[in-house]
Amino acid sequence: MRILVTGGAGFIGSHLVDRLMENEKNEVIVADNYFTGCKDNLRKWIGHPRFELIRHDVTEPLLVEVDQIYHLACPASPIFYKYNPVKTIKTNVIGTLNMLGLAKRVGARILLTSTSEVYGDPLVHPQPESYWGNVNPIGVRSCYDEGKRVAETLMFDYHRQHGIEIRIARIFNTYGPRMNIDDGRVVSNFIAQALRGEPLTVQKPGTQTRSFCYVSDMVDGLIRLMEGENTGPINIGNPGEFTMTELAETVKELINPGVEINMVENTPDDPRQRKPDITNTKALLGWEPKVKLRDGLPLMEEDFRQRLGVAKKK
Ligand SMILES: NC(=O)c1ccc[n+]([C@@H]2O[C@H](COP(=O)([O-])OP(=O)(O)OC[C@H]3O[C@@H](n4cnc5c(N)ncnc54)[C@H](O)[C@@H]3O)[C@@H](O)[C@H]2O)c1
């Protein structure tokens, strides 16, 4: 199997590459423009005979002979996707068109990593795949959430019109080693702040909830979806729900009981609650998350300690 992973130098992509490379029958090609990813995430595979790394921006066409495409390329954290919103929407729309064009030309199956952001600020809780969402089309997050919604539309139009084999994963918040430090995502923020001995900044009111899926569970779900028969869209995420205040308290307890927790102003359109309904995911993929937040956080702490150069207290 020859597999293309766009965005494979990023957080989830590089863990996916690790898992795909474990199978000796796979050849893996990564295409990435290194906007938020880096070669270092893939250092153990550079030079490997079954691995290739291409500096490529998915807003430009790409032609490679592959059997499967995992299309992840897109900045995922608000700081980075808001940095150049026009580029973000181009990546989602033109990038997905280009990858669908490639899938059509070479007859590959293509999986899109969509997002729980397609549900916007949901009026239904928890969110099943059948929920159409409550999204602001003109807000500062729209380049990302509306971009992903169009990407999903393109996937289904290519499927209906051209018979392309598609898979759509709606990913909920994922965390783990190799997340960008200081990328504004709440778990990486809290861990970096706790390790630096800075106050943990909880956006008001602190009662907004999120669910957090450890990256190894996410990769397992993505591969099951690609290998299975169901097109999706299918939710992949951990239904364990935590308020932001609870998350801050857990990080404080596990990593640095000495730090304070401070409340700060929130950003516009921040959803109040988010939790995947994974009934279909369990039934159709036989998947459910295994790693609990309390077990996953210390694994991420270790990676952040090394990158921040903060030694563990004896
Ligand atoms: N991490 C999460 O919690 C989460 C949640 C929902 C959806 N997702 C989706 O999963 C995918 C991966 O997210 P991640 O957390 O690993 O993010 P990430 O930012 O670590 O990885 C994204 C990768 O895509 C690359 N990229 C960005 N724009 C590109 C372009 N135009 N051309 C080529 N490469 C480009 C980046 O350099 C990076 O390596 C994204 O599609 C994201 O929308 C992630």
Domain holding 201: CATH number? 3.90.25.10
Give distance in angstroms: CA of 178 to centre of ligand 1.
Answer: 12
Read off the pTM: 0.95
Do 92 and 115 share a domain, yes or no?
Answer: yes
Do 159 and 188 share a domain, yes or no?
Answer: no
Do 99 and 34 share a domain, yes or no?
Answer: yes
pLDDT at 107: 98
Active site residue 144: yes
Q: Kindly tell me if the per-residue pLDDT of 92 is higher than 70.
A: yes
43 located within any domain? yes
Residue range of the domain that includes 187: 179-210+240-272+291-308
Q: Kindly tell me if the per-residue pLDDT of 102 is higher than 80.
A: yes
pLDDT at 185: 87
pLDDT-derived band at 97, boundaries 50, 70, 90: very high
171 ligand 1 Cβ < 6 A = yes
DSSP string for the chain: -EEEEETTTSHHHHHHHHHHHHSTT-EEEEEE--SS--GGGGTTTTT-TTEEEEE--TTS------SEEEE--S--SHHHHHHSHHHHHHHHHHHHHHHHHHHHHHT-EEEEEEEGGGGBS-SSSSB-TT---B--TTSTTHHHHHHHHHHHHHHHHHHHHH---EEEEEE--EE-TTPPTTSS-HHHHHHHHHHHTPPEEEETTS--EEE-EEHHHHHHHHHHHHHSS----EEES---EEEHHHHHHHHHHHH-TT--EEEEPPPTT--S---B--HHIIIII-------HHHHHHHHHHHHHHHHT-PPP-
Do 156 and 41 share a domain, yes or no?
Answer: yes
Question: Quick count: other Cβ atoms within 10 Å of Cβ 24?
Answer: 7
Nearest CA to ligand 1 atom 25: 7
Nearest CA to ligand 1 atom 32: 57
Atom index in ligand 1 nearest the CA of residue 72 equals 41
Do 150 and 206 share a domain, yes or no?
Answer: no
Do 60 and 189 share a domain, yes or no?
Answer: no
The catalytically annotated residue of 70, 81, 119, 144 is: 144
203 ligand 1 Cβ < 6 A = no
163 located within any domain? yes
Give distance in angstroms: CA of 93 to centre of ligand 1.
Answer: 14
pLDDT-derived band at 272, boundaries 50, 70, 90: confident
Query: Domain holding 72: CATH number?
Result: 3.40.50.720
110 located within any domain? yes
Do 137 and 197 share a domain, yes or no?
Answer: no
Do 105 and 195 share a domain, yes or no?
Answer: no
Nearest CA to ligand 1 atom 35: 73
Q: Kindly tell me if the per-residue pLDDT of 313 is higher than 90.
A: no
Do 29 and 154 share a domain, yes or no?
Answer: yes
| Number of domains forming the structure of the chain | 2
Do 111 and 196 share a domain, yes or no?
Answer: no
Give distance in angstroms: CA of 281 to centre of ligand 1.
Answer: 22
283 located within any domain? no
pLDDT at 265: 87
pLDDT in tens, 25-64: 999 999 999 999 999 999 999 999 999 999 999 999 999 9
Q: Kindly tell me if the per-residue pLDDT of 285 is higher than 90.
A: yes
Do 63 and 156 share a domain, yes or no?
Answer: yes
Q: Kindly tell me if the per-residue pLDDT of 200 is higher than 70.
A: yes
